[in-house]
Copies of this chain bind each other. A is one copy, B any other.
Amino acid sequence: MTQNTPFSLDPRFEGGSFLIRRLSLCQLRLQDDARWPWLVLIPEVADVREIIDLSETDQAALLADIRTACDLVKLLAAQTGFAVQKLNVANLGNIVGQLHVHVIARHEGDENWPGPVWGFGQAVAHEAGERERLVMALRSVV
């Protein structure tokens, strides 16, 4: 019933993240939280909440985009002097149901290590110039 609905981005992503570019399936966005190197992938497919709601072709494209985002979050971390010990790759969607995958760099001693980042404290917005620098650095390599 929703096959003809065009894709639209949940406004909460517009407010809390910045578009880097479109990858094979997903929008790649910089999460507006300077506490961690944090990217978000949002498949540009309408009305999808779960990974398994995607076609298998789109799932494979999402996987390729996750690979790209994992490489890029390391670059993002390098730009901010954040030493990466572990990546967290996750689809939760308990708050914003539109399908999205978080790709976050973590290290021992970070703001909530070893706990999860979601729901922890308050986001620390990037300063505008710094955000622009980071978005440009990421755009230059994808």
Contacts and interface: CB of A to CB of B under 8 A. Distances in A.
Contacts of A113: 94
Interface residues of A, number: 29
Interface of A is mostly: mixed
Nearest to A52: B70
Contacts of A66: 51-52
24 contacts: A49-B86, A50-B87, A51-B66, A51-B67, A51-B87, A52-B66, A52-B67, A52-B87, A59-B63, A60-B63, A86-B92, A86-B94, A87-B91, A88-B90, A88-B91, A88-B94, A90-B91, A90-B92, A94-B113, A94-B114, A94-B115, A116-B116, A116-B118, A116-B119
